[in-house]
Amino acid sequence: MIRRKIGGSLFLRLALLVILTVVATQLITWWIVVTERRELIAKQFYSQVIDTLADLEGRLDSVPVAKRPAYLTDYNRPWLTQLLPADADKGRTFSTHLTDFETLVTSRLSQGMGHTPTVKILESPAQRRQLWISVRVLGAPYWLVVPMGRFRDHVVGSMSLAALLASLCAILVASAIAWRTTMPISRVVKASRALSQGRIPEPLDERIGSSEIRALTKGFNGMARSLEAAASERRLMLAGLSHDLRTPLTRLKLMVELQGDNADASGMLSDIDEMSGIVRQFIDFARSEEKPRSEPVALAELASSVVARFRREHLDVQISVAAEPEIVADPLALERLLSNLIDNARRYGQAPVVVQVDRDGDHALLSVLDHGHGIPPDLRQAALAPFERLAAHRGTDGGSGLGLAIVARIVKQHQGELIFADGEHGGFKVTARLPMPEAG
């Protein structure tokens, strides 16, 4: 799961690549700096030893042999470079463990002196290390004692802080560049998500990002414009066709009614009413693609108004209000939604039909429950497609197959959820779960 999250985002991938690159670069740089610094210090140490030996030889050359021990006693200072007699190591405890730097110094001294000197390490109680090197001055053996405090091999302090600050700055700058690179892609993803929800997004800025991203943004904007134009043409076609059909249907109905007593008049009027209902659903389907209005809607009042209209048509429909949520929505679209659900319950279900208004946390619930057999689970998703009608009722119900498609589209436009469920005591229940505005 963690691996999937890390690899799932382009920004995270770029950020991880940047961090790994910076860390690897800093490690390589650190190794180069430490190696070069160690070589430089070893070279300086060797030069100091050689210069010190040359200086001591020059001094001791003018001092009689008998007076040289007294001279060295006056010359030597604690924790400075000293020249001690060959027996000065007697009674002292030395360590033979050399650090990498001390090993490098010993190798450099061996190369410079032409022989391998004896090297020992003496640690004082204060944990100060002294390097004892066996040398010969004017033919006599001595110990050259060099304090190692001045030649620390630890790269700390300002250098470590500088490396850390450089790494942080590099990571921040690179992360900003990565964010700048992925931001236009995120906008395209967000816009495509809105497009998949049936909403035409605002045109994206085609000047941001690299040439490839600008081309992607330009292509997406063109696709969105084409889809919007196609949807607009489809709406105009459906609305125009439906409007043109309503006029002759009205004339036909008027002519049938004026014929007086006729055995076929009732059937003809029923057919005309069904055709008018189909035309009305075409108009509703075309309107469902339009951008919905947003205004406060008292869901219980709206449901009561729609239920009262169906009761006037002698439909056995009841209403149950468990809560009175208020949402921000398009009231006409919600009326079409509830009317289609009740009409579907009347056509395919059994009375009584119950309209329920409730609340679930920060969502309002608008449900229609009938006591029929409902829709089989394997056909529920297909029933939401436009012009999809179940085989059991095909051609006999006077419907167009747009009722649930209109409902689904209205719910989607309001960022809600359409839920199919079997009733607790039998029947079939369709619920529109719609978000409520935040308390703020």
Render pLDDT for 410-419 as a digit per residue (tens, 0 to 9): 888 888 999 9
Q: What is the mean pLDDT of the chain?
A: 78
Q: Are strands 353-360 and 317-321 parallel, antiparallel or unpaired?
A: parallel
* Residue percentage of the chain with pLDDT more than 90: 11
DSSP state of 260: -
Whether residue 375 is predicted with pLDDT greater than 90 in this model: the reply is no
Q: Determine the Cα–Cα distance for residues 166 and 205; give it in Å rounded to an integer.
A: 34
**Residue range 196-291 in CATH 1.10.287:** yes
Contact (CB, 8 A) for 338 and 368: yes
Beta-carbon count within 10 A of 227 CB: 12
Residue listed under structure tokens 């070589």? 39
Whether residue 63 is predicted with pLDDT greater than 80 in this model: the reply is yes
Q: Report helix angle 211-258 to 265-287, nearest 10.
A: 160
pLDDT digits (tens, 9 = 90+) for 205-222: 888 777 888 888 888 888
Q: Is the peptide bond before 125 cis (omega within 30 degrees of 0)?
A: no
Q: pLDDT-derived band of residue 387, with 50, 70 and 90 as boundaries?
A: low
Q: Determine the Cα–Cα distance for residues 214 and 207; give it in Å rounded to an integer.
A: 6
Q: pLDDT-derived band of residue 395, with 50, 70 and 90 as boundaries?
A: very low
DSSP state of 204: P
What number is the average pLDDT over the span 113-135? 75
Token pair for residue 16? 């991880």
pLDDT of residue 164: 76
Q: What kind of fold does domain 2-147 have according to CATH?
A: Beta-Lactamase (3.30.450)
Contact (CB, 8 A) for 317 and 311: yes
What number is the average pLDDT over the span 178-186? 79
Taking alpha carbons only, the member of 407, 412, 410 closest to residue 430 is 407
Greatest mean pLDDT among 28-37, 167-176, 389-398, 412-421:
412-421
**Residue range 293-435 in CATH 3.40.50.10310:** no
Q: Determine the Cα–Cα distance for residues 341 and 345; give it in Å rounded to an integer.
A: 6
What number is the average pLDDT over the span 393-422? 74
What number is the average pLDDT over the span 124-139? 77
What number is the average pLDDT over the span 426-430? 85
pLDDT of residue 287: 63
Taking alpha carbons only, the member of 292, 245, 291 closest to residue 272 is 245
pLDDT of residue 235: 66
Domain ranges of the chain: 2-147, 196-291, 293-435
